[in-house]
Structures are given as structure tokens and as C-alpha cells.
Structure 1
Amino acid sequence: MEGLASFLLAAFALTGSPGPNTLSAAAVGASFGRLNGLRYVAGLSAGVGLVILIAGTGVSGAVMALPGVAPVITACAMAYFLYLACRIATAPPLGKSAQYQTSKAPMWYVGVFLSLANPKAYAAMGALFSGHVLQPDQPVTDALTKGILALAVVCLVNLIWLSVGAGLARYLQNPRTSRLVNVSFAVLLLLSIVAVALG
């Protein structure tokens, strides 16, 4: 039980702290509303599920060890984060109808790609898998248990950040306030990427 509590605490700390995924979930909630942001958050969570699989099996380490691969992946990820930040910064104010932004909110596959391109996700999952043992002498069961628990925490964290962002929506009917909040989220998203890249 002590190992489980320690793992869950670490999972919430590592995945719930501000970073590319969490800030983008809040930004999508603020820019497009909670309902329209659900598909994006579902994609974010699915993408982290893939990251768990990649990091937990050691594939990410093997790929990044190949000569010349790391800079290319980093450049592609940075370009994508810039694109997403621009989308968030230029999102129009929320309309009064829940359907107003449906066609403009990011799709689920955008969230999947962001998670796969997020270096913080790999670092967090690597730390969780290497730093905790829940079922000694049963490596497969241990890895599966940690993967399922980590994914459950990620889903909860993403929904919380989406809701936090959506909670700001009532203040975003004003175009000036909306633009200020959207640009702030976009800048925070880019700063979180820089912090991860430098850290």
C-alpha cells in the first residue's frame, strides 16, 4: 500500500504539474469550451497511453540513441508546438452557443500527436516506471499495473486542467479579455516547452 500511495503521489506530481499537455488542455478548455475540448483531451490521454507503452518497453531510449534522430524529432516537435500555440492564440471568443466552436476545436488526433511529441511525457513516464516497484518479482504484472494506474491519473489530470480552462470561459465573451487569455496560454505553452528542452 505504501508503494502504491507513493506511486500515485508521484504520478499526480509529474503529470499534473504545468507542462505542454496540461497547459494545452486548459487552453483548449478556455478557447473552445469543456464539451468541445473533450475529444482533444481524449486524444491527449490516448497519446500518453502510447508514450507509456513506448517508454515502458524501452523503445524510446533505443530510438533516441540512433545517431541524428534526436535533433530531427526535437525540431518536428517544436514546429508542432508553435503551430498549436498559434491556433490557441488566434482562437476567437467563445460564442454563446455550445456549437459555436465545434468545427474549430482541435481534433483528438492533434492531442495524440502533442503527447507523442512532448518530451516531458517521456521523462515523467520514465521516472515513474524506473523509480517505483509495485509488484516485486513480477516484472510484467508490475509494468502493466503501473501503466494502467499512470493512464488513469493522466485522464483525471487532463480533465481537471480542461475544466480549469473552461471555468475561465465565462470571462471570455469579451474579445479583448479572450485574446489576452488565449495569448497568455499560448505563451505559457511555449515557455513550458523551452523549460522542458533546457531541463
Structure 2
Amino acid sequence: MEAALVFAVAAAALLGSPGPGIAALLAVGRARGLFGGIGYLATMQIGLAIAAGLSAAGLVGILRALPWLRHLLTIVSALYLLWLAWQVATAPLGGEIGGAGEQARFPLWGAFTLGIANPKAYLAFASLFGSFVVVPPAGGIADAMAKWLLCVAVMAVVDFAWLLAGAWLGRITLAPKAERRMNVGMGLSIVAACALALT
């Protein structure tokens, strides 16, 4: 039980630290509100759960063995994040939360892509799965399954909290210039998170 708690705390620190997915959730929460962003959050969690499963099964080694696949995932993720950053930075001012335009700016395919191709997530999973033993023996099926379940649970809670923070930001009424600055700042934060994750 103690090992699982330590693993969960480490997972929360690694998976909940700012990165491309967190920046996207803040932007979605701000634009769509909490309930409007749940679909985006859930779709991202599916992608992340698959990525965590690949890591738990030791299949991340395939990415090391096939550099072209790793580069392809990185490029796809980076292109989506740059597109998302542009959408956030140029969003119409004073838009109604959850409007139809928000559905186009934050498509579910993008959420899934960000979840399954997020380079920061793979680094975090590799570190977590390689550094902890939750259910002895290390490397056993029970240990891998326990770590996967804990990661999925931690991601759901932490990412929901970030979406909630974005929704809270969306309730703040700003002057047009201040709102534009906030949009540009959030767009730049997505670019910065992307750059940090890819270095």
C-alpha cells in the first residue's frame, strides 16, 4: 500500500506538471467551460491510457528501435500543438463559452492525438514504470497492471483539476486588450510547453 501511495504521488508530480496536455486543458476549459470541456478531457485520457499501456507493456522500446515512428509521433504532436496555439491566440474576443466555434477549435481528434503522441507523457511513463515496484516482483504483469491503473487514475484527477482551473479563468471578465493578451499568452505557453517537451 505504501509503495502504491509513493508511486501515485510521483505520478501526480510528473504527469501533473505543466506540459502540452496541461496547456491544452487550460485553453479548452477557458474557452468551453468545465462541462463543455469534459469530452475533450475524456478523449485525451483515452489516448494517454493507451500511451501508458504501451509503456507498461514495455512496448516503448519499439519507439527506440524505430526512430522514424518516434519522429512521426513527435511531428504529429508538435503540428497539432502549434495549430492549437494559433487557435487559442487568435480566438474571437468576448465569445460565449461553449459556442459552436469552440467545437471546431478544439476537435476530439486533436485531444486523442495529444494524449497518445505526447512526448512528455512517454518520458514520464518510462520514468515511473522503470523506477518503482508497486507489486513485487518488478517487471511482473501484476506490477505493470497496478502501475497502469494508478497512472490512469492519477491522470484523470490531475487533468480534471487543470480543466477546472481553465474553466475558472474563463469566468473572469476582461477588457478586450487584456483578453487578447491572455489569449496570446496561453498560445505562447502551449508553444513553450511543446518546445520543452521536444528538447
- Normalised to the residue count of structure 2, the TM-score between the two structures is 0.89
1:182 and 1:54 mapped to 2: Cα distance? 35
1:26 aligns with 2:26: yes
Q: CA offset at residue 98 of structure 1?
A: 4.9
Q: Which residue of 2 aligns with 1:120?
A: 120
Q: Deviations over 1:93-151 (max 9, x none)?
A: 45456556554452333211011221000011111111111110371111111111110
Name the stretch that deviates more: 154-163 or 167-176: 167-176
Once the two structures are superposed, residues 8-50 of structure 1 have per-residue CA deviations (whole angstroms, 9 ceiling, x without a partner) of: 1101000111011111101111122222111111111111101
Query: Is 1:161–2:162 an aligned residue pair?
Result: yes
Counterparts of residues 8-87 of structure 1 (less than 5 Å) = 8-87=8-87
Q: Distance in 1 between matches of 2:151 and 2:177?
A: 38
Q: What secondary structure is seen at the aligned counterpart in 1 of 2:133? A: coil
Q: Is the 8 A contact 1:48 1:121 kept in 2?
A: yes
Indicate the residue corresponding to 2:181 in structure 1: 180
Distance 2:162 2:105 in 1: 16
Task: Summarize the Cα distance change of 1:42–1:22 in structure 2 as closer, same or farther, 3 Å threshold.
Answer: same
The change in CA–CA distance for 1:67 and 1:123 in structure 2 (over 3 A counts) is: closer
Equivalent in the alignment of 1:132 = 132
Which has the larger displacement, 135-144 or 153-162?
135-144
Aligned mates of 1:16, 1:49 — CA distance in 2: 15
Displacement after TM superposition at 1:69 (Å) = 3.6
- Partners of 1:97 and 1:90 in 2: how far apart? 16
| Letter aligned with residue 151 of structure 1 | V
**1:152 paired residue number:** 153
Preserved contact between residue 92 and residue 175 of structure 1 (Cα < 8 Å): no
Residue aligned with 1:33, SS: helix
Answer with 39-48 or 62-71: which moved more.
62-71
- The answer to whether the 8 A contact 2:16-2:22 is kept is yes
The size of the alignment, in residue pairs, is: 198
* Whole-angstrom CA distance in 1 between matches of 2:98 and 2:194: 31
Quote the RMSD (CA, aligned, Å). 2.1
Deviations 1:36-68 (A, max 9, x none): 111111111111101011111222321332254
Q: Deviations over 1:160-196 (max 9, x none)?
A: 0011111111224643333222211111111111112
TM-score (norm 1): 0.89
Match for 2:91: what amino acid?
Answer: A
